[in-house]
Amino acid sequence: MKKTKERTNRRSFLMLMAFAMMLVTFSFYGMSKNEGSGKVEAAESRKVDSTYTGLAKNSSGWWYYNNGHIDKTFTGLCKYNGYWWYINKGQLDRTYTGLCKYNGHWWYINKGRLDRKFTGLCKYNGYWWYIRKGETDRTYTGLCNYNGHWWYVSKGQLNRKYKGLCKYNGYLWYVKKGQIDRTYTGLCKYNGSWWYCNKGRGKYVVKDARKIYKAEYLNVLKNNKDIINNYTWQFRRTGDKPTPVALYDIDGNGIPELIFLSANLYGQSTSGGMPGGAEIRLSIYTCNNEGAIKLYDDKLIMIAANYSQRVCVIGSEKDKSIYTYIYHIDSASWETYTYLKMSNGGITVENELRRTVDMEDNNRVSECSFNGEKISKSDFDNKEKLIYKNNDILLYNDNYTQYRTPEKNNALSYEEALSKLKN
Give the whole-angstrom CA distance, residue 182 versus residue 176.
10
Q: Distances in Å between the alpha carbon of 108 and those of 86, 112, 132?
A: 10, 10, 9
Give Rg (Cα) of the chain.
41
Does the pLDDT value for residue 115 go beyond 90? yes
How many beta carbons lie within 10 A of that of residue 189, not counting itself? 14
For residue 55, the model assigns a pLDDT of 93
Q: Distances in Å between the alpha carbon of 105 and those of 47, 77, 90, 231?
A: 37, 11, 20, 71
Q: List the chain domain ranges.
A: 26-93, 209-422
Which residues does residue 280 pair with via DSSP β-bridges, in sequence order? 263, 301
Give the whole-angstrom CA distance, residue 110 versus residue 4.
70
Band of residue 235 on the pLDDT scale cut at 50, 70, 90: low
From 174, 177, 149, select the one nearest 161 (Cα to Cα).
177
For residue 360, the model assigns a pLDDT of 63
Give the whole-angstrom CA distance, residue 325 versus residue 311.
6
Look up residue 196 and give its amino acid.
Y
Give the mean model confidence (pLDDT) for residues 102-130.
95
Question: Is residue 129 within a helix (H) or strand (E), and if so which, with residue range?
Answer: strand 127-132
Q: Which residue has the higher pLDDT, 263 or 128?
A: 128
Give the whole-angstrom CA distance, residue 276 versus residue 407.
32
Does the pLDDT value for residue 363 go beyond 70? no
Q: Which residue has the higher pLDDT, 94 or 236?
A: 94
Give the global pTM: 0.51
| Tens-place pLDDT, residues 35-60 | 444 444 444 444 557 889 999 988 88
Helix (H, G, I), strand (E, B) or coil at 66: strand
| Tens-place pLDDT, residues 132-146 | 999 999 999 999 999
List Cβ<8 Å contacts ≥24 apart for 360-368. Answer: 360/331, 363/333
Look up residue 110 and give its amino acid.
N
Spatial contact of 144 and 150, defined as CB atoms under 8 Å apart? yes
Does the pLDDT value for residue 243 go beyond 90? no
Spatial contact of 284 and 349, defined as CB atoms under 8 Å apart? no
From 378, 351, 375, 355, select the one nearest 366 (Cα to Cα).
355
Spatial contact of 147 and 153, defined as CB atoms under 8 Å apart? no
Longest distance between any two alpha carbons in the chain, whole Å:
160
Q: Which residue has the higher pLDDT, 154 or 57?
A: 154
Give the whole-angstrom CA distance, residue 326 versus residue 336.
5
Average pLDDT, the chain: 81
Measured between alpha carbons, how far apart are the two ends of the chain, in Å?
Answer: 140
For residue 91, the model assigns a pLDDT of 95
Residue 416 φ then ψ, to 5°: -65, -40
